[in-house]
Amino acid sequence: MKAQQPRAQPHVTGKQCATFKSLQRTVWRMGKKRILVNSSAGRYDIVCGAGALRHAAREIRRLGKFSRIHLISSPKVWRAVGKAVLSGLGLENAHAKHLMNDAESAKNLRNVEGLSRSLVRAGIDRHSLIIAVGGGVVGDVAGFVASACLRGVALVQVPTTLIAQVDSAVGGKTGVNLPEGKNLVGTFYPARLVLVDSAMLKPLPERQYRGGLAEVIKYGIIADAKLFAFLEKNFDAILGRDPAALAYIIPRSLEIKAHVVSRDERESGLREILNFGHTFGHALETITNYRTYQHGEAVAWGMIAAALLGHEIGLTAADEVSRIISLVRRMGPLPAWPRVPPKELISAMYSDKKTRAGKLRFVLAPRIGKAESRDGVPLEALERVLHFAPHFVTASGKRRG
């Protein structure tokens, strides 16, 4: 790898975010953390910590009076955490429950209709509260339904996967897929409250948990070298879901996400940095029809490729690239890089909805803890990366398929 290419032009940078050291307003109280998020619809809180759900009833009362609570979840999630949720909410009785299929293939308009009809039949009105309990699929679909049903019903998110806890439940993006592509119909509709209880992660399948760690690594790369160093030092404990390690990485990830979306809810600038690894990751997901990778696994590959691309254009030093790749590898084996020519992946990148005016944009890391978004990356550099990247995981003896 050589760093001889002309530098592509930077657009948004981590610097615009003032400094990530000055955290989102965060308050610790009785072992739980409260992180404030600003949105166009007003401020809301993320309350997080092991056992945060125990405070759920009080937190919901603070939001006001609701005519009825409608819980939305999936059969699988409900089996895993339903009891804990009901007792945390103090809701053994007065509520309605709506279960939806949370397969990615069911994240569609038909599910929106089914759920809306179920809510209407159960008597939902404008003073009802919807509580979404589940991973990103439940959160995105329930959020969309909450935004559209009766033109908007109050929403609380109770995320139950690591990805949902550190990412999808915060920031207000909701939506469903069309046969033409992912998340093509949706709204910005922030929750009134997000309750993040790491105890919900206990029954989460191993692969799902590990995939979620990709997003945590991403936050370290784009915004917080200290978080990244913590991950390097404590990754084994994190893989073992050590409560003390989770008590650091989950709130810290949430602070970064909250900080970014509070300043750029609609992704007109700064929010783009959250897409580190995602231009490549989305292309991998698209080209394999969303069947091969979990989202976090595709992002893991994508972060390896983004680090290499940063180096190719002379932006990211070799030792930083090597730290990024080493940490990503510790997530464990990834499904193989698809056996397709680089050109096919590049054309998948062009069809991504984040492409602007036909230009490919990449979020790159000049160093760990800082990110910037660029277009105008030379095509040859990109092709070289797509050629090299698949070998970086096989080189460590991990499987490719």
Ligand X SMILES: NC(=O)c1ccc[n+]([C@@H]2O[C@H](COP(=O)([O-])OP(=O)(O)OC[C@H]3O[C@@H](n4cnc5c(N)ncnc54)[C@H](O)[C@@H]3O)[C@@H](O)[C@H]2O)c1
CB atoms within 10 A of CB 259: 24
Helix (H) or strand (E) holding 210: helix 206-223
Tell me whether strands 32-37 and 26-29 are parallel, antiparallel or unpaired.
Answer: antiparallel
Helix (H) or strand (E) holding 341: none
Q: Which residue is catalytic, options 275, 297, 372, 374?
A: 275
Per-residue contact string for residues 290-319; x = within reach of ligand X by CB under 6 A: -----x------------------------
CB atoms within 10 A of CB 320: 21
Q: Which of 55, 107, 210, 361 binds ligand X (CB under 6 A)?
A: 107
Q: Which of 27, 24, 16, 377 is nearest to 222 (CA)?
A: 16
Distances (CA, A) of 273 to 44, 277, 358: 22, 10, 19
Distances (CA, A) of 172 to 26, 213, 241, 261, 267: 19, 21, 27, 9, 11
Q: How many residues bind ligand X (CB under 6 A)?
A: 28
Q: Which of 140, 265, 285, 297 binds ligand X (CB under 6 A)?
A: 140
For residue 88, state whether it binds ligand X (rule: CB under 6 A). no
Nearest to ligand X of 104, 375 (CB atom): 104
Ranges within 362-381 binding ligand X (CB under 6 A): none
Q: Which of 86, 89, 124, 164 binds ligand X (CB under 6 A)?
A: 164
For residue 167, state whether it binds ligand X (rule: CB under 6 A). yes
Let me know if 295 is a catalytic residue. yes
Q: Which of 132, 179, 199, 139 is nearest to 163 (CA)?
A: 139
End-to-end CA distance of the chain: 26
Let me know if 257 is a catalytic residue. yes
Let me know if 329 is a catalytic residue. no
Tell me which residue has its CB nearest to ligand X. 136
For residue 14, state whether it binds ligand X (rule: CB under 6 A). no
CB atoms within 10 A of CB 121: 10
User: 386: helix, coil or strand?
Assistant: helix
Let me know if 215 is a catalytic residue. yes
For residue 161, state whether it binds ligand X (rule: CB under 6 A). yes
For residue 251, state whether it binds ligand X (rule: CB under 6 A). no
Q: How far is the CB of 258 from ligand X (least distance, A)?
A: 13
Structure-token pair, residue 338: 């698809």
Q: Cβ neighbours of residue 186 under 8 Å, at least 6 residues apart?
A: 140, 144, 173, 174, 175, 176
Let me know if 359 is a catalytic residue. no
For residue 208, state whether it binds ligand X (rule: CB under 6 A). yes
Query: Segment near ligand X (CB under 6 A), from 21-29, 134-142, 359-367, 390-398?
Result: 134-142
Nearest to ligand X of 106, 340 (CB atom): 106
Q: Which residues are catalytic?
A: 151, 173, 215, 257, 267, 271, 275, 278, 282, 295
Which residues of this protein are in contact with ligand X, per CB under 6 A? 74, 76-77, 80-81, 102, 104, 107, 134-138, 140, 160-161, 163-164, 167-168, 171, 173, 183, 200, 203-204, 208, 295
